[in-house]
Amino acid sequence: MAPLTDEPLVLGIETSCDETGVGIVRGHTLLADAVASSVDEHARFGGVVPEVASRAHLEAMVPTIQRALKEAGVSAKDLDGIAVTAGPGLAGALLVGVSAAKAYAYALGKPLYGVNHLASHICVDQLEHGALPEPTMALLVSGGHSSLLLAPDITSDVRPLGSTIDDAAGEAFDKVARVLNLGFPGGPVIDRYAREGDPEAIRFPRGLTGPRDPIYDFSFSGLKTAVARWIEAKRAASETVPVADVAASFQEAVVDVLTRKAVRACKDHGVDHLMIGGGVAANTRLRAMAERRCEDAGITLRVPRPKLCTDNGAMVAALGAEMVARGRAASSWDLPADSSLPVTEPHVPGAQREPDAHDHSAAHDHSHGHGHSHDHVHELSKQNLYDA
């Protein structure tokens, strides 16, 4: 179906981690998805280095915006709004995106929408499978997060049912890959090795699946340790480590727990469909097992294509467009970059002031994150890779 021209045309900027993403959408239609990644610059450190990421965002920002506008074949003056990831993520990295979004929005006289990275990972599926059902059950699995979320309205009401109590799912992939000397990021390479391996070869532990454990929470730290010990024992005995079997068995343990708990959440809440988002949703075994278990349970599965699962600007634009479509308040010019923005805040509204010649407030950057009621330290970030 051709896009309706009265649907909101929104540009979205994503800089929460190592991808500088700029996407442009019209309603539910993807027009451009430009991504510049600094992942190669981090590979030798085995994890994302925040300062390196911030600098890379700064260098990539303007060219990536120009590339997206060209790809979409639209002019910046035709935009109905500019959306940006306000958090959660790396503080310095977020700040580059938020500052750029403010500058463009102010200069162009467009409303600014500071949105939540996690809600964006869910909303992106509208670009692939159309309007999200309400409520939506979402399993969000990335390098920084693993959560089960119930979203009656993705623009205003997102409820966490459970989350990881230690490592995120993607973080576990990255750490196990490091123990196996497979490089960074670990997810895609473990996914590839696992295809050649036997998922039943080694029975690794399934975290938090005992009868007294929290039903919707996850834990992957014990699994990571179990895999590392198993590998150490092999090496100590001078035996070769069967990399493909370890990869497949580890992946099976992660995917088994994720899908089991997600299906359980759908059943318990009477939701007949499941959305899976975030970088780990690109995993082929996760997609296959979720497909089978959802089918058995009569649940419709929605997973965006892999490129829309990993961080990108289109997901931010998708949520921004939904904000415009639903008449949500735009953000104020003092929108902060909030590294620990809670998932319960899909967007960061405020009274939008019209940019005018006498209003210089937009020139000031108030993005220092003070005065938040939720100004706590974010424990689950890719930064944790350093002290692993």
144 binding ligand KG4? (CB under 6 A): yes
268 contact partners, CB below 8 Å, separation of at least 6: 215
Q: How far is the CB of 79 from ligand KG4 (least distance, A)?
A: 25
Integer CA distances (angstroms), 14 to 98, 346, 377, in order: 9, 15, 21
166 binds Zn ion (CB under 5 A): no
Residue 193 binds ligand KG4 (CB under 6 A): no
Helix axes 284-297, 186-194, angle to 10 degrees: 70
What are the phi and psi torsion angles at 139 (to 5°)? -105, 115
Annotate each residue in 264-283 with x if it binds ligand KG4 (CB under 6 A) or - if it does not, as one string.
Answer: --------------xxx-xx
Which C-beta is closer to ligand KG4: that of 139 or that of 324? 139
Q: For residue 380, what is the DSSP state? A: S
Residue 345 interacting with Zn ion (CB under 5 A)? no
Residues that contact ligand KG4, how many (by CB under 6 A): 20
When asked if residue 191 is in the footprint of ligand KG4 (CB under 6 A), the reply is yes
| Alpha-carbon gap, residue 38 to 75, rounded angstroms | 27
Based on the shown chain and the rule CB under 5 A, indicate whether residue 339 belongs to the binding site for Zn ion.
Answer: no
Task: Give the Cα separation of 188 and 146 in Å (integer).
Answer: 17
Nearer to ligand KG4, 316 or 330 (CB): 316
The C-alpha atoms of residue 343 and residue 119 are separated, in whole angstroms, by: 7
Question: What part of residues 291-330 is at the interface with ligand KG4 (CB under 6 A)?
Answer: 310-311
Q: How many CB atoms lie within 10 A of CB 178?
A: 18
User: Which residues within the stretch 93-152 sit at the binding site for Zn ion (CB under 5 A)?
Assistant: 142
Give least dist CB 39 to ligand KG4, A. 9
Q: Which of 311, 322, 338, 345 binds Zn ion (CB under 5 A)?
A: 311
Determine, following the binding rule CB under 6 A, whether residue 120 of this chain makes contact with ligand KG4.
Answer: no
CA diameter of the chain? 74
DSSP string over 106-165: HHHT--EEEEEHHHHHHHTHHHHHSSPPSSEEEEEE-SS-EEEEEEEETTTEEEEEEEBS
Size of site (CB under 5 A) for Zn ion = 2
The tokens 């506008």 sit on which residue? 69
List the one residue from 15, 64, 126, 142 that touches ligand KG4 (CB under 6 A): 142
Q: Which does 217 bind (CB under 5 to 8 A by kind): Zn ion, ligand KG4, none?
A: none
Which positions lie near Zn ion, rule CB under 5 A? 142, 311
Chain residues binding ligand KG4 by CB under 6 A are 17, 142-144, 170-171, 173-174, 185-188, 191, 278-280, 282-283, 310-311
